Every structure is written in structure tokens, then in C-alpha cells.
A and B are shown apart, each in its own frame.
Chain A
Amino acid sequence: MDFPAWMIESSSWIPGFHRAARWTRAPILVSLAKRMTELASLISRHGYIIVATIVFAESIGLPFPAALSLVTGGAAVAAHLLRAPILLPFALGAMLTGDTLLFFAGRRSGWRLLGFLCKVSANPETCILRSAESFYKRGKMTLVLAKFIPGVNTMGPPLAGSMRMHYGQFLRFDVMGATLYVLAYFTLGFLGRDFFKVIGNTFQTAGHAMGDVVIVGVVVYIGYRFWLMRKNRVYNVVPRVLVEEVVKKLASEEATRVLVVDVRSHGYYDPDAARIKGSIRIEPNNLDEEIKRLSKEKDVYLYCT
């Protein structure tokens, strides 16, 4: 593609952005302006391929700035460097290709993928069931909106695959989500040559208010952690025993008074799941009903993952 050198070197077709960055001295804007410059230079040289590659990379979960490349692409279209009827299908196709790959990866890996993702959850025991139910209830809408939520955007397609959604149905909702995403950021870049100046203005005006919000947030967080600590003290009254002690009891005459109980939720979705030999399972989310099966004559040893 042949573009004037001044456009490639200075990227001055996004002037508002640079002015805003310099004027506000906001590090985030300066950093964004630098990235926009690099991207603009690349997009000026290689155009559609660069935008499509970045969008594809992000859609398969790699840390690439798809939104930023679409904003830059939109600005390039506004400056007549690229053409929207070519750029938009390129970007959309790249996103749908990435999502399709993750969809089939999810279908192939089944629940192991969700199990892996739930390991970092605050409560891995119930994470799988809740995630599955939530996606089952809102899955279709999730596919449309999740693209705007960093971290969640790559979860939708593999979840849909692992939950055996029909590919045609998945594609329909994914096309809606991808179109919304691509158009939103493209339009932002197209219309927003001076958009970031406005953003910079807003940041400066709202700077003090943001400071207050951060302080209140920290106080609330500390309060929450304190409340959680007090709440968890209740659990400390339950005695803990080591594996060796239970093994010793099971090998002694007291074995008939020992009941080992599996209270996992997590781990019961995989057909290859294992548990302690001789243990029984109770569902922790339905404890009131489940304890009717337990004998008070026995010592109950609870375990999870």
C-alpha cells in the first residue's frame, strides 16, 4: 500500500490523541498514544492483515490489543487510508475464526477446561456447577456481550463447545457479539479523532473524585476482608486430622466407627474421577437432606480436593 511518508512516520492522522496525551500528561494516555502510533504505522504499511491478525490473536486468548487495533483501523478509514468494506469483513472473519477454534477446543476438552479455569476461583468446589448453570441460563446472551469484558471474552466459545451447543446456534450468537464488538470499536476510531481529548478532559476533571472513590474502595475492601476473617473463625472450631491418623483408625478395631465423607462438588463431572476408597459422597449444597444418611454413632471425616 502506498501512503504519504508523513502519514506513516508521524501518524498525524490521529492528532487529537497525541494532543490529549501531551496536554493531560496522563501516563495512560501517553502510553496509549505511543501504542496507537506504533499500530498506526503498522496498519498504514500492512493495513487489513495487521488488524485481522491482532483481532484473531486476541480472540484465541493471546494478549493482543484487538480493541485498540479496531479503533486505529477506524481512524485509518476516516483518514482514507483503509476502506471500511474491506476492513470490517476482515476483522469480523478473524474474530469468528478464532472463536470457532476455541469452540471446538472446548468441545474436545469437555469439562477439564472449566475445571482448570475454576481452580483460580474463590470457591472451586461450587465454581463448575454455578458456572455451568449460569452459562446454561444466560449462555446465549453471554456470547453476545462477553466480548466487551476482558478475561471473560475468551470463555464463551469454549464453554459453549463443552456444553454441546450446536455450532449453528453458537455461530448465530457469536456473529451478533463479534459484529457488535467490531463495529463499536471501529466507530469509536472513525468518529473519535478528538475523542481522547475529551477523555483526557474528563480524567482531569474527575481526578479528585476518582481519588475519593479509590480510598472508599480500599476501606470497603479492608472491611470485607475483616468480616470474612471473623466469619471463617467459626470453621476453626472443627478439628482437623492428618491422613496418617485416619489410616491408623481404619486399620484398628475402631474402623467400624469411621465414616469418610467426600464433600466435593468439583471432581464429580469427570468420568475418570477418583475418591478415597470406601468413602461416601454427600452433596454440600444439599446438606440438610444429605445428613439424614449419616450415623451419629460414627466419627465423620470430611474431605474435599
Chain B
Amino acid sequence: MLRQKGFNAFILVGGLAAWRKAGQPLESVPREDLVKLPTFS
């Protein structure tokens, strides 16, 4: 879909797991980006 809309998009093979395995730097997900799932309370 991104390609259809003119973006030069690529897929990172292995995703986050491959990045982590390669020892590349990570960071914590910012608190405001965390998704709040529904709760009953």
C-alpha cells in the first residue's frame, strides 16, 4: 500500500528480533505510544 502511494518502502528481514540479534541499539517505547487495552474496571 505504501508503494502504491509513492513511498520507497522496504521490509526489514527478521524484524525487531533480527535487529536485536545483530546487537544493534534499542530504546524503550515512549509512554505516550503505549496502547491502552480495554479493562473492565
Contact = CB atoms under 8 A, between A and B. Distances in A.
Interface in A147-181: 160, 163-166, 169
B39 to A, nearest CB: 4
A243 B12 contact: yes
A298 B2 CA distance: 12
A136 to B, nearest CB: 4
A239 B3 CA distance: 10
A166 B41 CA distance: 7
Chain B interface mostly: loop
B34 to A, nearest CB: 6
Contact-residue size bin, chain B (C-beta under 8 Å from the other chain): 35 or more
Interface residues of A, number: 51
B40 A278 contact: no
B13 A273 contact: no
Chain A CB within 10 Å, residue with most, of B16, B18, B25: B16
A35 interface: no
Given A269-B34, A294-B7, A300-B7, A164 B40 contact: yes
Interface in A227-274: 237-244, 246-247, 260, 262, 264-265, 267-269, 271-274
Contacts, number: 133
A287 B1 contact: yes
B18 A136 contact: no
A110 to B, nearest CB: 10
Chain A interface mostly: mixed
B13 A164 contact: no
A213 B29 CA distance: 49
A301 interface: yes
Nearest to A272: B28
Contact of B16 (A133, A163, A247, A303): A303
A-B pairs with the 9 shortest C-beta distances?
Answer: A165-B40, A136-B38, A303-B12, A277-B25, A164-B41, A273-B29, A164-B39, A274-B26, A132-B37
Interface of B: 1-3, 5-20, 22, 24-29, 31, 33-35, 37-41
30 contacts: A111-B37, A132-B38, A133-B38, A163-B39, A165-B41, A238-B3, A238-B9, A240-B12, A240-B13, A243-B24, A264-B16, A268-B29, A268-B34, A268-B35, A275-B29, A276-B25, A276-B27, A277-B24, A277-B25, A287-B2, A294-B2, A294-B7, A299-B8, A299-B10, A300-B10, A302-B12, A303-B12, A303-B15, A303-B16, A303-B19
